[in-house]
Amino acid sequence: MTLYDKLMNWPTPEIRQDLSARDTMLYALGVGLGADPLDERQLRFVYEKNLVALPTMAVVLAYPGFWMGDPAVGVNWKKILHGEQGIVIHKPIPASGRLIGRSRVTQIVDKGADKGAIVFSDRDILMEETGEKIATLTGASFLRGDGGHGGGDARWTQPAPEPHALPARAPDVVCDLPTLPQAALIYRLSGDYNPLHAEPAVAVAGGFKAPILHGLCTLGVAGHAILRAMCDYDPTRLKSLKLRFSSPVYPGETIRTEMWKDGGVVSFRARVVERDVVVLNNGHATVA
């Protein structure tokens, strides 16, 4: 069996999660909600009275873990990068409840021996009691060290989907949101304990000057900006979101989300103000 056949058929376990109100509040605090404790629009995401969940919290729900790090899979996990992430919201994310996560690999694109491969995957999040699907997550991982394993098989050489093109005009709305110096230490408590985001020595060994913010935390900050600027903090209005990760963020930096609105479509990208570096790109969201 080739590596790619193994990836396509890997038995990713079904995950069950008891989501608590505490989990919901902790996630919201991790992506910066509650920065203004007097803003009651933010307070409803971080306070148990009339608690509601952020739509972007879907990314941390019923997560199967870093299964590609299992030596039996056979990929060079140290050279894996999170390339893309998408969220489709089918029902409002609950503030608490028993959830099921079902993950699968959907496509592999072999870019060549010296160019790596892209693994696309989906995860459905369902309410255990009713079987209702509340969200579908789509992701792409860039395997920098595992190109060329497809052996020219046509299944693995299909082109990757084109990214969403941003409008050529100036952004319609810009939203600056600062991150805390300890943002990664808070966000990791939502389930991603990769030491790259906590230990200075690990970060330096990985080529960074300091621990970096989780890419999915940066996504959450951009989601907050869209919720604030385009949805008046109504989480039921954000229906989907998809983006590409382009550069890391260091905790304490300010994330500027630039948005273009065309009907129910919001195109967006995010950059770090202090370094003028684009960190999220080709963003596409739909709002009601």
- Is 53 found in the same domain as 24? yes
Q: What is the CA radius of gyration of the chain?
A: 19
- Is 123 found in the same domain as 204? no
pLDDT number for residue 140: 96
Q: Hunting for tokens 């952004």 — which residue is that?
A: 171
pLDDT at 78 over 90: no
Residue 32 is a catalytic residue: no
Residue 234 is a catalytic residue: no
Instruction: Report yes or no on 236 lying in a domain.
Output: yes
- Is 179 found in the same domain as 151? no
pLDDT in tens, 134-164: 999 999 999 989 999 888 888 898 888 899 9
Instruction: Report yes or no on 165 lying in a domain.
Output: no
- Is 120 found in the same domain as 20? yes
Looking up residue 119, the CATH number of its domain turns out to be 3.10.129.10
Instruction: Count CB atoms within 10 A of the CB of residue 197.
Output: 22
* pLDDT band for position 105 (cuts 50, 70, 90): very high
pLDDT in tens, 246-278: 999 999 999 999 999 999 999 999 999 999 999
Give the active site residue among 215, 220, 223, 283: 215
Cα distance between residue 19 and residue 28, in whole Å: 14
- Is 78 found in the same domain as 141? yes
Cα distance between residue 77 and residue 2, in whole Å: 17
Burial status of residue 173 (CB atoms within 10 A of its CB: 0-12, 13-18, 19 or more) = middle
pLDDT in tens, 165-175: 999 999 999 99
Instruction: Report yes or no on 163 lying in a domain.
Output: no
Instruction: Report yes or no on 164 lying in a domain.
Output: no
78 or 262: which carries more pLDDT confidence? 262
- Global pTM? 0.94
- Is 237 found in the same domain as 210? yes
Q: Hunting for tokens 């869209």 — which residue is that?
A: 226
Number of domains into which the chain is organized: 2
Instruction: Report yes or no on 81 lying in a domain.
Output: yes
pLDDT at 79 over 90: no
Cα distance between residue 249 and residue 15, in whole Å: 30
Where is mean pLDDT largest: 57-71, 110-124, 225-239? 225-239
Mean pLDDT on 66-95: 92
276 or 79: which carries more pLDDT confidence? 276
- Is 10 found in the same domain as 45? yes
pLDDT number for residue 287: 98
Cα distance between residue 39 and residue 124, in whole Å: 33
Residue 230 phi/psi, 5-degree rounding, is -115, -15
Cα distance between residue 220 and residue 213, in whole Å: 11
- Is 222 found in the same domain as 276? yes
Residue 223 is a catalytic residue: no
pLDDT number for residue 268: 98
- Is 212 found in the same domain as 134? no
CA neighbor of 255 nearest in space, from 224, 209, 229? 224
pLDDT in tens, 3-38: 999 999 999 989 999 999 999 999 999 999 999 999
Q: Average pLDDT, whole number, for the chain? A: 95
Contact between residue 133 and residue 61 where contact means Cβ atoms under 8 Å apart: no
| Paired sense of beta strands 238-245 and 80-89, if any | antiparallel
pLDDT at 186 over 90: yes
* End position of a domain, from candidates 109, 129, 156: 156
- Is 134 found in the same domain as 247? no
- Is 32 found in the same domain as 119? yes
Give the active site residue among 89, 93, 108, 212: 212
CA neighbor of 284 nearest in space, from 245, 244, 255, 241? 241
Give the active site residue among 197, 214, 220, 224: 197
Residue 149 is a catalytic residue: no
State what percent of residues in the chain have pLDDT above 70.
100
State what percent of residues in the chain have pLDDT above 90.
84
Residue 85 phi/psi, 5-degree rounding, is -150, 135
pLDDT number for residue 153: 87
* End position of a domain, from candidates 156, 186, 202: 156
CA neighbor of 285 nearest in space, from 225, 233, 232, 215? 225
pLDDT number for residue 152: 82
What is the domain extent for residue 22?
A: 3-156
What would the two tokens of residue 210 be? 């300091």
Cα distance between residue 217 and residue 209, in whole Å: 19
pLDDT number for residue 2: 87
Q: Which of 68-82, 86-100, 223-237, 264-278 is predicted least confidently?
A: 68-82
Give the active site residue among 125, 192, 220, 255: 192
pLDDT number for residue 70: 87
pLDDT number for residue 230: 98
Instruction: Report yes or no on 43 lying in a domain.
Output: yes
Instruction: Report yes or no on 44 lying in a domain.
Output: yes
- Is 27 found in the same domain as 124? yes
Instruction: Report yes or no on 247 lying in a domain.
Output: yes
pLDDT number for residue 159: 87
